Amino acid sequence: MDFSFTEEQSMLRDTVAAYLADHYDFDKRRAAVSKEPGWRPDVWKAFAEELGILGAPFSEELGGLGGGAIENMVVMEEFGKALVVEPYLGTVVIGGGFLKHSGHAGAADMIGGIIEGKTIFAFAYAEPKGRYNLAALETTAKKDGAGWTLNGHKAVVLGAPFATHLIVTARTSGGVRDAGGVSVFIVEKGAKGVTTRDYPTVDGNRASEVYFENVSLGADALVGPADGGLPLVEKVVDEAIAATCAEACGVLRKLHEGTLEYTKQRKQFGVPISSFQVLQHRMVDMFINVEQAVSMTYMANIKVGDDAERAKAASAAKVQIGKACKFVGQNAIQLHGGMGMTDEMAIGHYFKRATMIESAFGSVDHHLARYELLSLGKAA
Amino acid sequence: MNLDFTPEENAFRDEVRAFIAENYPAELRKAQDEGRALTKEEYLLWHKVLAKKGWVAPGWPKELGGTGWTPTQKYIWSEETARADCLGLLPFGLSMLAPVLYTFGTDEQKKKFLPGIYNGDVWWCQGYSEPGAGSDLASLKTKAERITADDGKEYYIVNGQKTWTTLGQHADWGFFLVRTDPDAKPQSGISFLLIDMKTPGIEVRRITTLEGGHEVNDVFLDNVKVPVENRIFHENQGWTCAKALLAHERSGIAGVARSKRNLEKLRTISSTERSDTGSSLLSDAFFRRKVAELEIDLTALEFTELRTLAGESSGKGPGPESSILKIKGTEIQQRLQELALEAVGHYGAPFLRDLGGNAAGVGPDYAEGLAGEMFNGRKTSIYGGSNEIQRNIIAKMVLGL
């Protein structure tokens, strides 16, 4: 048993942390997200060219750093600490995940594009009436000669305004919530028939409603098996959950640290408010929440490569992290008092991100239900 | 002990309901439905309708314009206005300053200020908190020095900074706590001043809150000249006024009627939203359990408030027990906001406010702004004496610890 990081992993963390400290402080981040285009392509270029981190979870043959889930975890935790909005999750973890696991003929080329920073993915899976059910798809792809014709509407596609390509889940057969009949496609965002409505999100990210109207796809757009794509989708989403949990750990640590720091400085009744026992116990409970979240994140990232344990591990971690995001986020604001309510202080921005992570890829309820079903030996 | 309404009370309910239906301003309804920030005029539309009717200040003594309603009638009133989703009346003049004025003010002060409050002609704001004085309000530092000016009259010269002044950007007048005796113990050197916000030396500066709104402000006071006759009660005894005001601030804070209304909204939203299986979200076992628990919690609060009201009508003022109402009331409001946001799933994320008022919605109309409301709602457990301070009050004043 070993919970330590390798030298390479520690170096990766230090490299990312040092870069973000120099280029991604709170004011720079806020300035970038509050105006168009809502992200910094120059930072993305630096991720690719200076830091080389866009290849973190890819094999060396593909031009990557030879890592996997743990490397994603390291990067995502640092990103959480700086509230990074650039699309690492959508591109490297999710886009890269589909390409790695599907055996797609163009995978090596496209992963090359990811590593170079030229190919950027957004994951178009959610639908207006689907909630968190990955198979609840009204978007359809109909066979058309060798290729497919895509129609539908995808909801709140994070990072879509920055993307060159979309990973789209669609129904190729069966009823709206059937596990069978799900297929995955890569769609160029500029393809004819693709339209987007772009907007900011409450936590400083960008997203789009994406509409497909008779979009013609070639045979090579299909990723993974036709009709049998759901297990692939679940696998990649579980990896995305493990990475999102790591981002949450970064966010949670900042919420907790910021609160400790503030309560030590803030004086009322002639003493620092950190000297009040009721606030001390609250901060201890926040600390316990953070530590439990970190533990579950390690667990999930260690197990996410093992298909027998992956799903349960991801759902368990997401439940723990969702609860921690609520408790730590809300109490960080509470203990900052009025100052916590201001846009000027970073703490509120961490709280907003924590709140969005609570429901990312499924709420606490969704993952509790999935965990229960998996525990009973049923497919979720 | 019974919960029945008398025939007279039922008739009163019908009267209130009919009045709201016939007189609620249509343009205000439209502005509320659009969910945009209200203009100063819009904030006062409903107030002015009620002032004309004589119903704007149910809590005031009857001879000053109060309605003389029984606690039950007041309860019916707050239920009906919440049920009809009427805009809450601004509390600063009506329920914060006015009780101080009619309890501690001179006849002249009452005559000068109460009509403007009643008719909605004067917008008031509160100058209590300071950057260094929040929960520990008595440590406030804004200083008022008494001088005799060239005109032979006496003035206070006020210097300092106030903060969290809600809707101060619209205010005509403000009520301020200032230190008039720097050498006295913290609570005994404070005075209660009314200040015309147009006096030279006052600057109101916007504070943007975490959801992006403009509700609160910093107020800077630089050699602001205030006539001594604008002081309420004795010099250095303003804390007595402040304490009375805070008790009133707490008693209205349970927000039961509004929470009931929001619970209905939550039911509507969650019966429209789909669960993972495609059924209504409200039929999802996990979700409906949370809604049921919240409804039970709200019922408990409602009956606690009714017991408090009954106590008040038998002559007891709002006591330290009202801290229970503040704690539970705000916890329930916050929980309602969390569940509404949770209910709409992915569509809690879009933030369209900065795209301008004409931007078409994304997702269902009811989803818009829910995240902002939830973020903004975190203030309720902080303001008016944080919930930690409320627990201290109960420990000390009720439990005698």
DSSP string of B55-93, one letter each residue: -S-TTS-GGGT-----HHHHHHHHHHHHHTTPPPPPHII
CB A198 within 8 A of CB A181: no
The pairing of beta strand A121-124 with beta strand A165-171: parallel
Nearest to A338 among B134, B346, B362 (CB): B134
CB A85 within 8 A of CB A145: no
The residue-averaged pLDDT of B98-112 equals 96
- Backbone φ and ψ for A305, nearest 5 degrees, come out as -85, -5
- Residue A42 CA to residue B392 CA, distance in Å, equals 52
> Are A176 and B278 in contact (CB < 8 Å)?
yes
- Residue B257 CA to residue B269 CA, distance in Å, equals 19
Using a CB-CB distance cutoff of 8 angstroms, which residues of chain A are in contact with residue B216?
A: 338, 341
Token duo for residue B31:
């502005």
Nearest to A202 among B278, B349, B379 (CB): B349
- Residue B137 CA to residue B131 CA, distance in Å, equals 10
Residues B249, B273, B305, B368: which is the catalytic one? B249
The residue-averaged pLDDT of B223-229 equals 98
Amino acid in the structure at residue B77: W
Q: Is the pLDDT of residue B355 over 60?
A: no
Q: Residue B382 contacts by C-beta under 8 Å, 6 or more apart in sequence?
A: A333, A334, A337, A338, A340, A341
Mapping DSSP to helix (H, G, I), strand (E, B) and coil, where does residue A373 land? Answer: helix
Q: Is the pLDDT of residue B356 over 60?
A: no
- Backbone φ and ψ for B69, nearest 5 degrees, come out as -70, 150
* B249 band by pLDDT with thresholds 50, 70 and 90: low
Token duo for residue B188:
């005994």
> Are A363 and B362 in contact (CB < 8 Å)?
no
pLDDT at A101: 97
Instruction: Kindly list the distances between the CA atom of residue A224 and the CA atoms of A73, A89, A231, A380, in Å, as whole numbers in the listed order.
Output: 25, 20, 10, 20
Report the chain A residue with the minimal C-alpha distance to residue B360. Answer: A197
Closest Cα partner for B146 from B135, B156, B134, B160? Answer: B156
If one counts every other C-beta atom within 10 angstroms of the C-beta of residue A277, the result is 7
> Are A363 and B345 in contact (CB < 8 Å)?
yes
If one counts every other C-beta atom within 10 angstroms of the C-beta of residue B41, the result is 11
CB B197 within 8 A of CB B176: no
Nearest to B345 among A131, A199, A352 (CB): A131
pLDDT at B384: 86
CB B166 within 8 A of CB B216: yes
* B70 band by pLDDT with thresholds 50, 70 and 90: confident
Q: Using the Cα atoms of residue B355, residue B359, residue B362 and residue B368 in order, give the sign of their dihedral.
A: positive
- Backbone φ and ψ for B19, nearest 5 degrees, come out as -60, -45
For residue A376, the 8-state DSSP code is T
pLDDT at B161: 98
Which of A341, A349, A352, A378 best tests the B interface by mutation, with the highest count of B CBs <10 A? Answer: A341
Select the more confidently predicted residue: B79 or B23.
Answer: B23
What pLDDT, in 10s, does the model give residues A27-86? 999 999 999 999 999 999 999 999 999 999 999 999 999 999 999 999 999 999 999 999
Residue B304 C-alpha, separation from nearest chain A C-alpha, in angstroms? 25
pLDDT at B317: 61
What pLDDT, in 10s, does the model give residues A96-154? 999 999 999 999 999 999 999 999 999 999 999 999 999 999 999 999 999 999 999 99
Q: Which of A205-219, B149-163, B252-266 has the lowest mean pLDDT?
A: B252-266
Q: Is the ipTM of this complex over 0.90?
A: yes
- Is B295 known to be catalytic? no
**N-to-C CA span, chain A:** 30
Closest Cα partner for B174 from B135, B131, B232, B132? Answer: B232
- Residue B66 CA to residue B184 CA, distance in Å, equals 38
What pLDDT, in 10s, does the model give residues B6-19? 999 999 999 999 99
